[in-house]
Structure 1
Amino acid sequence: MYLSTIIETVSAWAAQEPKIYALAIGLIGAAIISAVINIGAMAVVWLERKFLGDIQARFGPNRVGSRWGLLQLGADAIKLFTKEDSIPRGADKPVYVWAPIIASITTMLVAAAIPFGALRIDGKDYPLVVANMDISAFYVEAALSIMTIAVFMAGFSSNNKYSMLGAFRGIARMIAYEVPMGVCVIAVALMAHSLNLVEIVESQTLWYAFAQPLGFIVFTIALVTDLGRIPFDQSEAEEEIIAGYTTEYGGIRWGLLYFQEYINMLLGSILLVLLFLGGWNGPSIPVITVLSPMVWFLMKVLIVLIFLIWVRGSLVRFRIDQVTDLGWKWMLPLSLVNLAWAAFVGLYFA
């Protein structure tokens, strides 16, 4: 009751002062989103270390912060912040410096349009999203593609041939799979009759993972590849004892590029849940009715994250030619077949 009154009051104020309201919501939303995705990514790093330790029958982080190693990320951050900040001789300094910043900005642009669950108040779900855009699904795809620019900047500016090769391999992989990913998003939009991620979630009386099983499989494989996760981690080859396009980076700059991989992993898992697994849809849970959508949403995201970590701990890295062949010769045609199916079903049930 009190929450409904607060919402009505805020809505009335927004109607009277739309510009001030938009600015306030933007600043507050940016601060909250930054905190959420950074804390969430730290949790993902810890989860991967512990889960891979279990998969490989070895100890995960267990020294800093009790036997669970909960403070290990803090210790790593202190180490990276206090390392010497060096730039390779002959590097293109402005481009070298800006590459990690562009990567960080990209993740923030993506996070701004992604719903992070919802709250259920008086039987109605209120999505937690900063920018609820009509074309948020396409916006997210477009923003994710900016990451290729950061990858190229890092490899090109480092004055290292291995870094450049790693950047080229990474870009070839990302382009080969972002196309079928985009086609799968279009297929979902056809069934949902909307490009708004919130409306896509609300339209899933039947999860699109069941309505479009082929699209779900193609999107999942494309997502793993676009994230650069094993078995599609081709930034460095098996015989190269390097780190791909981040070879010449150290200290906090390397930490930013490394951390962006886990932020992208978190955002990619959320996007998969929103598009194919019903988002925050689920029955109300007694006692915590208001938080029911958040519980369902976080459970689904956690399952996807564990799946991604499980795949990394179970498979070996493919060659770059195998990855690009799979993307262009199999994933793209299959995504087009799924698009035709979605168009038929979407028009039939329109």
Structure 2
Amino acid sequence: MDGIIDTITQFAAQEPAIFALIIGIIGAAVLSAVVNVGAMLVIWADRKVMSDFCNRFGPNRVGGRWGILQLGADAIKLFTKEDVIPAGVDKGVYVWAPIIASAGTMLVAAAIPFGALHIGGKNYPLVVANMDISAFYVEAALSIMSIAVFMAGYSSNNKYSILGAFRGIARMIAYEVPMGVCVISVAVMAHSLNLVEIVESQTVWYAFAQPLGFVIFMIALVTDLGRVPFDQSEAEEEIICGYSTEYSGIRWGLLYFQEYNNFLLGSILVSLLFLGGWHGPIIPIPLLDMVSPMIWLLMKVIIVIWFIILIRAALFRLRIDQVTDLGWKWMLPLSILNLGWAVIVGSYFA
């Protein structure tokens, strides 16, 4: 293994442009596969848990023993369903909204480490673009979703769609600000904005070092994902299907699917920022020792996903005024208070 690593290192030094191109192509292919397959499993888990908790028909009763076949049935339905573009829409914006939403998801995934390989007593992070400001980059790329939501709602020529879009924008802005402050708080303690360095700096999980920031970030993440109790932009009993009301077929499928892509990536981000990422004991078994960091990160991500799904099963939807009041009047001041705490603790341990 050490010989292979040395060979790759020498090739990278001799042909940096070719090496970068090869890594980029491989990274993009693997990244797309991992994110999309992971999102499919999150959709299945969401339906499975909700159907069990609510005792309703779903993957707990159809689609085979575990309900896996329902994913394939839904995919076939969305790909073969007629793609209708209503009269009166702004066609250019209408068509590009799902594409921008999907592209934004891939931009986020490019800077998120998906674990690490433990080789020769050292961890090698699995990340396509290991940037110095990757924490800020990820948050900025996540906000692209708000642009796609507005494009979809505004271009649909439907009052329910535009209402859902405005609700979504108001909700996202109110909570992305405290989310950003929480990211700054973590960066202050870690003395870095690099997600890999933030993970490596967590001798103590930041969920314990700044519990207030962890709670605020989790609430802001659930809000940014548009899930219960903060799913005002898709409140079916109020505004039909919100900003995606006029979409059908594969275009609607892209808007729906990217929400679960963001769900998966947001859960990974929580694990990296606050739960120690891939840190954990190395499993003393051949082959498993090499992927131990990935196993620990996967376990933490599953717990976060499961918790967010339980929130949907247990809580009721809030009104839009309650959501914005919570964001601006409570979450923002508390996030600033948490930042002050992070500055004090980070300066003390600097």
In 1, are the aligned partners of 2:97 and 2:148 still within 8 Å (CA)?
yes
Quick one: structure 1 residues 139 and 239, their matched pair in 2 at CA, closer, same or farther if it must change by over 3 Å?
A: same
Q: Map Cα deviations across residues 117-164 of structure 1 (whole Å, 9 max, x no partner).
A: 111111111111000001100100111111111011000100001100
Q: What is the match of residue 52 of structure 2?
A: 54
- SS of aligned partner of 2:171: helix
Structure 1 counterpart of 2:278, from 264, 277, 280: 280
Q: Map Cα deviations across residues 216-269 of structure 1 (whole Å, 9 max, x no partner).
A: 000000000011010000104464251100000000000000001100000000
Q: Give the drift of 1:57.
A: 2.2
Q: What is the match of residue 325 of structure 2?
A: 325
Q: Give the drift of 1:61.
A: 1.5
Unaligned runs of 5+ in 2: none
1:121 counterpart letter in structure 2: I
In 1, are the aligned partners of 2:108 and 2:142 still within 8 Å (CA)?
yes
1:306 counterpart letter in structure 2: W
In 2, are the aligned partners of 1:148 and 1:171 still within 8 Å (CA)?
yes
Q: What is the match of residue 291 of structure 2?
A: 291
| Aligned-partner Cα distance in 2 for 1:181–1:16 | 42
Q: Map Cα deviations across residues 21-67 of structure 1 (whole Å, 9 max, x no partner).
A: 11111111000000000000000001111111111123432566521
Quick one: structure 1 residues 238 and 153, their matched pair in 2 at CA, closer, same or farther if it must change by over 3 Å?
A: closer
| Aligned-partner Cα distance in 1 for 2:349–2:235 | 47
Backbone CA RMSD of aligned residues: 1.1
Q: Give the drift of 1:113.
A: 0.2
In 1, are the aligned partners of 2:182 and 2:213 still within 8 Å (CA)?
yes
Q: What is the match of residue 24 of structure 1?
A: 22
In 1, are the aligned partners of 2:50 and 2:313 still within 8 Å (CA)?
yes
| Higher alpha-carbon deviation: 195-204 or 52-61 | 52-61
| Aligned-partner Cα distance in 2 for 1:152–1:238 | 18
Q: What is the match of residue 100 of structure 1?
A: 98
2:292 counterpart letter in structure 1: S
Q: What is the match of residue 65 of structure 2?
A: 67
Q: What is the match of residue 264 of structure 1?
A: 262
Q: 4+ residue stretches of structure 1 with deviation over 3 A?
A: 62-65, 236-239
In 2, are the aligned partners of 1:230 and 1:316 still within 8 Å (CA)?
yes
1:296 counterpart letter in structure 2: W
| Aligned-partner Cα distance in 2 for 1:265–1:133 | 22
Aligned length: 348
| Aligned-partner Cα distance in 1 for 2:68–2:235 | 32
| Aligned-partner Cα distance in 2 for 1:4–1:65 | 46
1:99 counterpart letter in structure 2: A
| Aligned-partner Cα distance in 1 for 2:311–2:251 | 28
| Aligned-partner Cα distance in 1 for 2:236–2:30 | 40
Q: What is the match of residue 165 of structure 1?
A: 163
Q: What is the match of residue 131 of structure 1?
A: 129
Structure 2 counterpart of 1:155, from 153, 156, 170: 153
Q: What is the match of residue 111 of structure 1?
A: 109
- SS of aligned partner of 1:289: coil
Q: What is the match of residue 11 of structure 2?
A: 13
| Aligned-partner Cα distance in 2 for 1:4–1:182 | 40
In 1, are the aligned partners of 2:160 and 2:239 still within 8 Å (CA)?
no
Q: What is the match of residue 316 of structure 2?
A: 316
In 2, are the aligned partners of 1:51 and 1:309 still within 8 Å (CA)?
yes
1:347 counterpart letter in structure 2: S
Q: Map Cα deviations across residues 175-229 of structure 1 (whole Å, 9 max, x no partner).
A: 0000000000000000000000000000000000000001000000000001101
In the alignment, does 2:329 pair up with 1:305? no
What is the TM-score when the length of structure 2 is the normalising length? 0.97
| Aligned-partner Cα distance in 2 for 1:325–1:238 | 22
What is the TM-score when the length of structure 1 is the normalising length? 0.97
| Higher alpha-carbon deviation: 297-306 or 241-250 | 241-250
In 2, are the aligned partners of 1:63 and 1:72 still within 8 Å (CA)?
no
- SS of aligned partner of 1:120: strand
Identity of aligned residues (%): 77
- SS of aligned partner of 2:291: helix
1:342 counterpart letter in structure 2: A
Q: What is the match of residue 88 of structure 1?
A: 86
2:245 counterpart letter in structure 1: T
